[in-house]
Amino acid sequence: MRTLILCMVLLLGALPAGAVEPRERLADPALEARARTISGELRCLVCQNESIDESGADLAHDIRILVRERLTAGDTDAQTIQAVVNRYGAFVLLKPPVEPATYVLWFGPPTLVLAGLVGTAIWLHRRQAAPADTAPLTSDESRRLAGLLRDNEG
């Protein structure tokens, strides 16, 4: 039982590791935390849907080192990210920037949903409005209808 509890406690401690190797880590915990945040936002170009923080690829390792070098040298987060973007292009950003080239990406889906909603609203409105176009029965017609119904019952 004690072994089991020990195992579980150890497992809990093992969760948030990522791919960052111990020798990559910076001594300063604040800098290291910034490096981890930045790494989580940068795409690994070899395994394209992983961030460099998660990826075990060689290139991801190199970029993690580059990020830490820049931070140690006193760069801001934005400058560090820019240094990587300068080399690899905006594609390395897992969250793409809002710029003319990405307008379709950012605003396309909401626009489609909006167009769908407006279309549905128009359609529903028309369907409700349609019966109002038919004129109400004249007194003559109502009398005939009542007669028909009576015949049917009888």
Partner 1 sequence: MKRIVYLLPLALFFVLVGYFLISLRPGHDTHELPSAMLQKPAPSFDLADLGDDNKLALAGLKGHPVIVNFFASWCVPCRIEHPLLMRLSQQDHLPLYGVAYKDKPEDAARLLATYGDPFRQVGLDQDGRVGLDFGVYGVPETYVIDANGIIRKRFVGPLTAEAVEKDLMPLLKQLEPSS
Cβ proximity to partner 1: between 101 and 148 the closer is 101
79-108 residues in contact with partner 1 (CB under 8 A) are 85-91
**Does the footprint of partner 1 cover residue 59 (CB under 8 A)?**
yes
Mask 108-127, x = binds partner 1 (CB under 8 A)? --------------------
Cβ proximity to partner 1: between 112 and 137 the closer is 112
**Does the footprint of partner 1 cover residue 45 (CB under 8 A)?**
yes
Element (H, E) at 2: helix 2-13
Task: List Cβ neighbours of 96 (8 Å cut-off, separation of 6 or more).
Answer: 90, 102, 105, 106
Q: Given the structure tokens 């800098």, which residue do they identify?
A: 31
Task: List Cβ neighbours of 41 (8 Å cut-off, separation of 6 or more).
Answer: 51, 81, 93, 94, 95
Contact window for partner 1 (CB under 8 A) among 59-67, 73-81, 99-107, 133-141: 59-67
How many residues touch partner 1 (CB under 8 A)?
Answer: 15
Cβ proximity to partner 1: between 31 and 83 the closer is 83
85 vs 153: CA distance, rounded Å: 82
Per-residue DSSP letter, 103: H
